[in-house]
Structure 1
C-alpha cells in the first residue's frame, strides 16, 4: 500500500492509501507519492515533458482587514 494523489484538471483532489490496482480511480489521474513529495487537496499538479509531476501550493491572499483581525486574535491569546 502506498499514498497516491488523485489529480483532476491539474489539481490534487484528494490523497488515498491504495494498492495501485487498476480500475478503482478511473476518473482521476493517479500519482504514487514519494517520501519527498508533500501535497494535499487543492495543490496544483502539472506533469512535465519528462513525465515527472510538479506540485505547487496555491497562494493564500489575506486582505489587510483579515491580517488585522489575525493580529488582534494573536495578541489577545498571548
Structure 2
C-alpha cells in the first residue's frame, strides 16, 4: 500500500476581520467551506486575536492585537 503524503500547514480561520483560530490542515476537502481560510507562511507568528485585512486577491495583512485586548 502506497504511503499518502500530506503537506499539512497552519491555516488562519478569519471571521469579521479577526483570526478566531489557527488549525493544522492539508487544505483538502470542504470541512471549512463556510469560513474564510488563509494558509499562513511557515514560521508566521499570527494567532488568535490578530486583525486580518485583505491585501490583494489572494492575501491578507495581519496585525497583532493590542495588549489590553487579549
Q: Which has the larger radius of gyration?
A: 1
* Equivalent residue pairs, number: 61
Determine which structure has greater relative contact order: mean sequence separation of CA pairs < 8 Å that are 6+ residues apart, divided by chain length. 2
Task: Name whichever structure is richer in helix by fraction.
Answer: 1
- For normalisation by structure 2, the TM-score amounts to 0.74
Gaps of 5+ in 2: 1-7
Residue in 2 that maps onto 1:29: 36
Gaps of 5+ in 1: 62-78
Q: In angstroms, what is the RMSD of aligned CA positions?
A: 1.5
**Secondary structure of 1:5's match?**
strand
After TM superposition, the runs of 4+ consecutive aligned structure 1 residues lying more than 4 A away are none
